[in-house]
Amino acid sequence: MLYGIRSLSCKLLRHIEIGTSARSMSAANRINVKVHQGTVSGVREKLPNGNESFAFRGIPYAKPPVGELRFKAPQPLDKFQYPILDCSFERDVCFSRNMFTQEIEGSEDCLYLNVYSPKIGSDDKALPVMVFIHGGAFMFGSGNSDCYSPEYLVQEDVVAVTLNYRLGTLGFTYLPSQGIEGNSGLKDQLMALKWVKQNIAKFGGDPNNVTMFGESAGAASVHLHLLSPNSRQYFHKAICQSGCSIMEWVMQRDPEYKARTLAKLIGCKGQSDEEVYETLMTSSTADVVGRMVSVLTDDEKIRGLPMPFKPVVESESATDAIVTKAPIDVMKTPNAIPNIPVMMGVNNREGTIMLLDGIKKLELYENDMARLIPRTVNVNPGTVASNELGEEIKKFYFGNQPITTKMLPQLADLMSDYHFSILANVCCELHSRYQHQSPLYYYNFSFDGMLNMYKRLLNLKVPGACHADELSYQFLFRMAPVEVEPESPEARVRYYMCRMWTNFAKYGNPTPPEDSTLPYRWDPVGKIAAESKEDFQLNCLDITEEPKMITNPDKHRMDFWRSVYRRFNEGMLKVKL
């Protein structure tokens, strides 16, 4: 969820060009791997620890979703275009606006993945596989190495896969009367999982030990797959970083209205769905994608949720249907999730990223705090009760102080709770009460250091970890690389993060007893009976320079919201979604 940052455009593009050129020039050391669709030719590279690794970039995992395949579920690719496919470079991302440079990039031909492995052709035991789903509000981003180069994970002896999927209107338009069944972007991710199942053994990976992990919209995607029997057969562990399926920004409201409105904005003069479909299918990519923000409802604009096209509840008869029930209903179904270990968490100041837009609206918040009442609270906007609750929220977060730039940390806390923390807590409690077969590990990332790249790029001076700040402790951020000293706190946190994430992929436990390199242990969230009156206790690893277990992070703020939900919803687990 990033907007703006135009001043970084030239600098970041220069980093990307330099990185791409350097990789292409070093491509003399090639390695070929035969997969089901043909032969891919990758490159030998060096990991940060000096060991050799192998990278295969830009592997197509489905037919290009162009022409008649626009909006459709992805189609399997039987054979590559060439006998030996050059996979030394990344291909197009999904047509979208780059979150950092604000430049239009990519095309509709975007269904590519990248494979990184520390060993190829060895008789050693197959390695765990980690498949990463990128974030970006279901509107922008890619799995490419400008943001997600996984060397530090790979050197812990895992095979890493990153991928592109369709975004925005191309990935999430829904018009079932005309065969646009919805969730094409999620189905792209599922197709990539099927490709991994079919081919990853050729890269040294174990198809029977696949961890799916993602951040923000990518985390919500992972959680939706976790709740889907159709998807779960292709992975064995799940990690959700700063996102889950029940957060109010995840599921699309009024999707058919949005599809019809988009067609009218493009120029459709007719009223029938057939004419809407014809317009959407024949219009340029620029029109279909470029006008999508214009379909936002007034409520979405007021709430600061500028994400018009995203997942929908689809028909069970849809092709490769993934989301056939409301996620919260699945979460309340006992043991809907089988014995799949789950890791989940948030950053302690997620909402800092919202200040890019929020700093322009301080006067609005000062005069109308009711606009930041979560939609999940059962109170009607514009009522006396709504206005009174808005004033109560304002008093709780800001005291008697006016909402000015001096209060940005407090505004960041409110944004963190509103967009992430409240429903992360709800999700954990539902998991604890209803999903007794599935272990859950919860974290709070609070480290604030030189590799907190998103906050640095946003140039916001608010203490704590911003949304997406943890990613540069897992991936090399090639577009703006920062070197840290080997003995620095940043290097230590990066080691801890990569070690815990890959331990989880290997063992289903981020701090297994056999790992003596980690001077702490991460306890899972406890299980309680669904109808128990016992207060839920959230066990949590606070990830700092010296990680430690805590209970009920941000308890004072969460207790405030529990009291709100008790008054308006009869309890926090009865959120209105």
Which residues are designated catalytic? 216, 350
Half-sphere exposure of 485 (CA within 13 A, CB side): 3
Sequential DSSP letters for 86-116: E-BS--PPBSEE-TTT--EE-BS---EEEEE
φ, ψ dihedrals at 133, nearest 5°: -110, 115
Beta-bridge mates of residue 23: none
Beta-bridge mates of residue 444: 346, 542
Exposed / middle / buried, residue 201 (Cβ in 10 Å: 0-12, 13-18, 19+): middle
φ, ψ dihedrals at 119, nearest 5°: -155, 140
| Cβ atoms of 344 and 424 closer than 8 Å | yes
Nearest-CA neighbor of 57 among 183, 143, 152, 155? 143
Tokens 């799940």, residue located: 238
| Cβ atoms of 175 and 280 closer than 8 Å | yes
Sign of CA dihedral 143, 144, 148, 150: positive
Task: Find all residues with CB under 8 Å of 21, minimum gap 6, and list them.
Answer: none
Beta-bridge mates of residue 46: 52
133 token code pair: 């789903």
Length of the chain: 577
380: amino acid identity, one letter: N
Sign of CA dihedral 89, 470, 537, 539: positive
Tokens 């030189």, residue located: 450
